[in-house]
């Protein structure tokens, strides 16, 4: 990542975390996807995993437990190598929230 990309990444992550923390999972996905599409660094799967986590939680809250479980599995696979923290994101907390909410949805 070049020095020029760092502020863009920080802005994308901050926007993602704000939306994700507020339960606006669709917005979180959209915010980070704009960055991810153009990003081709070695940790690209980390960003993909965050986007997938947001999509899974959006599905869970929208009454689509099957879709939520499917996307959550891919999110976990992409995020697990980056736990507990990567790029300032508490990946472990994202994984806990994902597991908790998807399990609740499946009940």
> What local confidence, expressed as pLDDT, does residue 60 receive?
95
Q: Could you tell me which residues are beta bridge partners of residue 86?
A: 89
Report the 10 Å Cβ neighbour count for 30.
15
- Supply the mean pLDDT for the chain: 92
Give the fold, CATH level 3, of 5-106.
Hyaluronidase domain-like (1.10.3450)
Which of 45, 24, 55, 60 lies closest to 91 in space, CA to CA?
45
In 24-87, alpha helices (H): 25-38, 44-61, 65-79
Mean pLDDT of 58-82: 96
Predicted confidence (pLDDT) at residue 68 exceeds the cutoff of 80 = yes
Helix (H, G, I), strand (E, B) or coil at 84: coil
pTM of the model: 0.91
Tell me the pLDDT tens digit for each residue of 12-34. Answer: 999 999 999 999 999 999 999 99
> What local confidence, expressed as pLDDT, does residue 1 receive?
44
Tell me the pLDDT tens digit for each residue of 44-64. Answer: 999 999 999 999 999 999 999
Q: What residue segments make up the domains of the chain, in order of their start?
A: 5-106
């Amino acid at each position: 990542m070049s020095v020029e990309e760092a502020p863009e990444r920080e802005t994308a992550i901050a926007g993602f975390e704000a939306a994700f923390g507020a339960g606006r999972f669709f917005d979180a996905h959209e915010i980070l996807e704009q960055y991810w599409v153009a990003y081709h660094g070695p940790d690209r799967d980390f960003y993909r995993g965050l986007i997938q986590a947001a999509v899974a939680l959006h599905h869970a809250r929208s009454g689509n437990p099957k879709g939520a479980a499917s996307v959550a599995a891919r999110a976990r696979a992409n995020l697990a190598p980056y736990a507990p923290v990567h790029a300032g994101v508490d990946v472990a907390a994202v994984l806990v929230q994902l597991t908790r909410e998807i399990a609740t949805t499946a009940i």
